[in-house]
Homo-oligomer: A and B are copies of this chain.
Amino acid sequence: MKPWKRGDRQLHPPTRAWKRRPRIRPGTLPGTLHPAEAPAAPARLSLVRFSRDGVEEREVGIEQATAAATPGTISWINVDGLDATVLARLGDRFGLHPLAVEDAMNVPQRPKAERYEKHYVLILHTLRVVDDALIDEQLSVFFGEGWVVTVQEQLQGDTFGAVRAAIRQGRGRVREAGADYLAYLLLDSVIDAYFPAIEWLSDRMAALEQDAVSAHATTECLVQIQRTRHDLLAMRRAVWPMREEIAVLTRDDSSLVTPETRMFLRDAYDHSVQALDLVESLRETGAAVMEIYLSAQNQRLNEVMKVLTVISTLFIPLTFIASIYGMNFRHMPELTWGYGYLWALGLMTLTAAGLVAFFRRRGWW
């Protein structure tokens, strides 16, 4: 994590989550894709096909991908990049519902699990920290009997690396269970990925708490606190519906999800609740840091005022005494005393001592 510099006037780069808006175009018909809008880069497809006996893993074209799924094996097709043409082809091949495909295409959508006749679609959001900013990306997971299709935006990393490795090495029950268990693993890896992001936010919040009480805290610090709180809100918006999503999967009586996988989903549910708990707790911390900032600001004002008051009230009476003996009256006995000057200086010293004693009693000195 790039350390947050104190007194740094330049704005922390706003997180993407802060800025993102759904790409809904008023005037378009629901259930339609817009292939005309060519994606910035062509979508890359990769295929992982496995059974108890072996694994096959390679980059494929759309033709090979649609031809992949064969009985007795589990095929997992991953699409990197939102390409309407590719999605339409996959939709035809696996009988995906047009509305489900539209949700995968028109990012961002709210996390949700929807059951169609022959498949499920899970809309997920990963939250990762890239270059000191929180990146929110949508992942769509379609799964049916014997196949899983995942659609990612242009992710720089690979959220699913650990799952891929587990399949490759045949660890756990992954190669023995069905497509629903694979989908569960993908879901679980998304939830696990929240925890480093939450930790990053937690660190940022702790740094901001330090800043909030420092003498150099500026409005910039306040803006940072609010930004972090906004990130937490974005986090919450991702995790909250995910909890519901998993509950839906767990409750549904579809034959697509086996009872054993349901047991694992209950575990994923607990993890999502735990992530939510941490986020809620951080949100309370955020409110507390805000209050600390505001109060520390007041505290600083108090100290400025105290210094002003001490200096002013010390010298104002002294100056008054001096200005008395600066008057030009012809008959002012003190002026002609031999020790007049000392008398004046003594008077001043006594006054000052009295004031200092007063300040001491008030605890201002």
Residues of chain A having any CB pair with chain B under 8 Å: 21-22, 24-32, 97, 99, 102-103, 109-110, 112, 114, 161-162, 165-166, 171-172, 174, 185, 188-189, 192-193, 195-196, 199, 202, 213, 215-216, 218-219, 222-223, 226, 229-230, 233-234, 237, 263-264, 266-268, 270-271, 273-274, 277-278, 281, 284-285, 288, 290-302, 304-309, 311-313, 315-320, 322-341, 344, 362-364
Contact = CB atoms under 8 A, between A and B. Distances in A.
A282 to B, nearest CB: 11
Interface centre among A28, A171, A264, A320 (most CB of B within 10 A): A320
A330 B323 contact: no
Contacts of A364: 304
Given A110-B274, A196-B26, A291-B290, A328 B325 contact: yes
B325 A327 contact: yes
A192 B27 CA distance: 8
B263 A99 contact: yes
A30 B327 contact: no
Contact of A172 (B29, B270, B316): B29
A363 B216 contact: yes
A298 B297 contact: yes
Contacts of A199: 21
Nearest to A284: B233
Contacts of A315: 316-317, 319-320
Contacts of A309: 304-305, 307-308
A242 to B, nearest CB: 13
A273 B218 contact: no
Contact of A324 (B215, B294, B322, B330): B322
Most chain B CB within 10 A, of A162, A222, A271, A337, is at A222
User: Looking at chain A's contact residues, is the secondary structure mostly helix, strand, loop, or mixed?
Assistant: helix
Contacts of A330: 335-336, 340
A307 B364 CA distance: 12
Q: Residue among A193, A195, A234 with the most chain B CB within 10 A? A: A195
Contacts of A195: 21-22, 24, 26
B301 A270 contact: no
B292 A222 contact: yes
A31 B202 contact: no
29 contacts: A21-B195, A22-B274, A26-B189, A29-B174, A30-B185, A31-B264, A31-B267, A109-B274, A110-B273, A110-B274, A213-B219, A219-B292, A219-B295, A219-B296, A229-B284, A293-B295, A298-B298, A301-B301, A301-B302, A302-B304, A304-B309, A312-B312, A322-B324, A323-B323, A327-B328, A327-B341, A328-B328, A329-B341, A330-B336
Contact of A301 (B185, B229, B298): B298
Contacts of A218: 299
B172 A31 contact: yes
A120 to B, nearest CB: 14
7 A-B pairs closest in CB distance = A27-B162, A322-B323, A325-B327, A311-B313, A308-B309, A26-B192, A226-B288
B318 A320 contact: yes
A193 B270 contact: no
